[in-house]
């Protein structure tokens, strides 16, 4: 699993405008991050809660459907959450103009 995680980090890192990447496991602990530790833990906690809520919304509307991706656009950046089997990835991107 960690080889997969490393490869993904490299892949996203090479894209322009990426402000940060956090890989968070199912316990809400950031296992890999390009941000500093306190901020990573903060993102891990808030994003995990939100991801769970979003998953439940999707399941509630249609039990056969599943959440595959979540994107939040804020004033200053775009946050992308990709849930996988054992972990989820948060990518924070600065929108280009």
Question: Judged by CB under 8 A, does residue 65 bind other proteins?
Answer: yes
Task: CB nearer to other proteins: give 23 or 82.
Answer: 82
Task: CB nearer to other proteins: give 6 or 46.
Answer: 46
| Shortest reach from residue 23's CB to other proteins, in Å | 17
Q: At 31, phi and psi to the nearest 5?
A: -90, -25
User: Which tokens sit at 64?
Assistant: 């056969």
Question: Judged by CB under 8 A, does residue 94 bind other proteins?
Answer: no
Is the Cβ–Cβ distance between 50 and 79 less than 8 Å?
no
Question: Judged by CB under 8 A, does residue 17 bind other proteins?
Answer: no
- Tokens 């991706």 belong to which residue? 69
Interatomic CA distance for residues 3 and 10, integer angstroms: 11
Question: Judged by CB under 8 A, does residue 18 bind other proteins?
Answer: no
Residue in 97, 96, 92 with CA at minimum distance from that of residue 21: 92
Which residues lie near other proteins (CB under 8 A)?
42-43, 46-47, 49-50, 53-54, 57-58, 60-62, 64-76
């Amino acid at each position: 699993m960690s080889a997969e995680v490393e490869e993904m980090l490299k892949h996203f890192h090479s894209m322009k405008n990426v402000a940060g990447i956090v890989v968070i496991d199912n316990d809400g602990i950031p296992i890999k991050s390009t941000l500093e530790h306190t901020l990573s833990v903060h993102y891990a906690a808030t994003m995990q809660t939100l991801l769970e809520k979003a998953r439940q919304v999707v399941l509630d509307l249609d039990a056969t459907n599943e959440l595959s991706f979540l994107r939040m656009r804020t004033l200053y950046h775009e946050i992308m959450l990709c849930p996988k089997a054992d972990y989820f990835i948060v990518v924070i991107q600065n929108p280009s103009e």
